[in-house]
Amino acid sequence: MELADLVKSIDMLWVLIAAVLVFAMQLGFALVECGFTRSKNAANIIMKNLMDFSIGSIAYYVIGFGLMFGATAGGLVGITGFFKPETMGLEIFDALTPWTFIFFQTVFAATAATIVSGAMAERTQFRAYVIYSFIISLVIYPISGHWAWGGGWLSALGFVDFAGSTVVHSVGGWAALVGAAVLGPRIGKYSASGKPTAIPGHNLPLGAAGVFLLWIGWFGFNPGSTVAVNDRIGYIAMTTNLAAATAAVVTMFLTWFRYGKPDVSMTLNGVLAGLVAITAGCNNVSIYGSIAIGLVAGVLIVFGVEFFDKVVKIDDPVGATSVHLLNGVWGTLAVGLFAVEGGLFYGGGLGLLGVQSLGVLAYGAWTVGTTFVLFTILKKTVGLRVPADEEKIGLDIVEHGSTAYPEWGSTHEIRTGITQ
C-alpha cells in the first residue's frame, strides 16, 4: 500500500468512527428526553428519535445531500446530485470516498431534526411529527446548510461555523421554539393566572446517562469535523471538553445561588449548553477562549430556561430552546469575539463579528419562516396536537398501543384510569 492510500484509509476510518459517535448521540437525545419527561410518554419519545434518524437518512440521501452540497445556484441552494449523490464528484469524495462523507453528513442532519422532539414532547400527534421530521431533513436543514458548508453565500463572506452551532443546533433550536409555540403548553403547565407549574421528569438518572452519552458523542461531532487525522483533533477535543465542564460548573453554582440548592437537571443541561456553544469555534478559539464561552453558556442556560418558561410562556419540557437556540446563537457570535484570527478581542475588528451576526439572522429568519408554515399547515390538516383526554392518558398508549413500563399498570388501567 502506498503512503497516500494509507493516509486516505486512516482519514476514512477516523471520519467513520466520528460519524458513529455522532450517531450514538441519537440515543443520548432519546435518554435525555425520556428522563426529563413523564413515564407515560417514554415509548413515544423513543419512536420519534428512531424515526428522526430512519426517515432522515433516506430523505437526506435522496434529496437533502444534493441541496446541501450540489453545484450552487447563486449561493442559495445546491441543484445537482439528487437521487445518486455519490456521483457528484466532490473533492472531498477523493479524500474519503463518497459513502464515508455522505454518511458523516447524514448523522449531522439527523441531529438537527431530533432537537425538536424534546421541545414538543408529551402532546404532539405522532403522524404530524413524522411529516415534520421528513421535511426538515429533506429541505429545511439542507438548504440552509448549503449557505455555510456547501459553498453558499455565507461561506463566501467568511462565515465560520466549524461543526454546527448554527448550521445544526440553532436550526434545530429555532424549529423547536416555533413548534412549541404553535403547539401550546402541556395541560397543567400554567395556572389560570399564568404561573408556571413544574412537571418533573420521571427518571433523572436516565437523563444523566443521556447527557454523558452526548458529551462522549461530541468528541466525534467536533473533532470529527476535521474530516482528516491531523494535529488539531486533540486541540478541538480539549476546547470542547473545557467549554462543557465550565458551563456545568457555572450552572451548578448559579442555580445554587438562585434556588438555594444546586439543581441537577439544570446542571445537566449546562453541560449541553457548553457543548453547543463551543461547536462553532472549537477550532478557532484559544483554550481560555473556550472557557469563557462555556462560562457565558452556563449563565445563558439558567436565565434562558426561566425566560421561556416564565416570560414568554413557551413550554419546552427538556429546555431544548435554551440549550440549542440560545447557545447556538451565542457560540456563533462568540467566534467573532474570540477567534484568534479575526476575532474582535484579538484585534480583528468588527468584520468577522458582523458576518457571524448576519449568519445568525439569516438562519433564524429561514428556519422560523419555514417551520412556522410547516407546523401551521400540519395543525390545520392532519392535526398537530393530540386531544386533551389522550394527552392525559399518555402518548404511549394512545399513539402506539403500548407502554414503556408495563409492570406499572395494565393497558386497561392506563387507558381507563380504573384499577382493579
Which tens digit of pLDDT belongs to each residue from 217-262? Answer: 999 999 999 999 999 999 999 999 999 999 999 999 999 999 999 9
Percent of the chain topping pLDDT 70 = 97
Q: Determine phi and psi for 73, rounding to 5 degrees.
A: -110, 95
10-42 residue pLDDT tens: 999 999 999 999 999 999 999 999 999 999 999
Q: pLDDT-derived band of residue 408, with 50, 70 and 90 as boundaries? A: low
Give, as one character, the DSSP assignment of residue 228: S
C-alpha cell at 68: 446541501
| Segment among 43-57, 316-330, 405-419 with least mean pLDDT | 405-419
The DSSP code for 85 is: G
Share of the chain above pLDDT 90, in %: 91
Q: How far apart are CA 13 and CA 17, in angstroms?
A: 6
pLDDT higher than 60, residue 418: no
**Residue 116 binned pLDDT confidence (cut-offs 50, 70, 90):** very high
Residue 245 and residue 116: Cα distance in Å, rounded?
A: 25
Q: Is residue 420 over pLDDT 70?
A: no
Comparing CA positions, the residue from 299, 409, 370 lying closest to residue 112 is: 370
Cα(79)–Cα(397) distance, integer angstroms: 43
User: In the chain, what are the domains?
Assistant: 3-385 (1.10.3430.10)
132-185 pLDDT, tens digit each: 999 999 999 999 999 999 999 999 999 999 999 999 999 999 999 999 999 999
pLDDT higher than 50, residue 122: yes
Phi-psi region of 124 (alpha: psi -120 to 50; beta: other; left: phi over 0): beta
Q: Could you give the CA distance from residue 263 to residue 38 in angstroms, rounded to a whole number?
A: 19
Q: Per this entry, what is the length of the chain?
A: 420
Spell out where 19-124 has E strands. 72-73, 77-78
In the structure, what pLDDT confidence band is assigned to residue 412 with cuts at 50, 70 and 90?
very low
Residue 187 has pLDDT above 80, yes or no: yes
In Å, how far from its chain's centre is CA 110? Answer: 9
Using CB atoms within 10 Å of the CB of residue 334, give its burial: 0 to 12 exposed, 13 to 18 middle, 19+ buried: buried
Residue 89 φ/ψ, nearest 5 degrees: 75, 30
Residue 414, pLDDT > 80, answer no
Query: What is this structure's pTM?
Result: 0.93
Angle at the Cα of 233 from the Cα atoms of 102 and 97, rounded to 5 degrees: 25
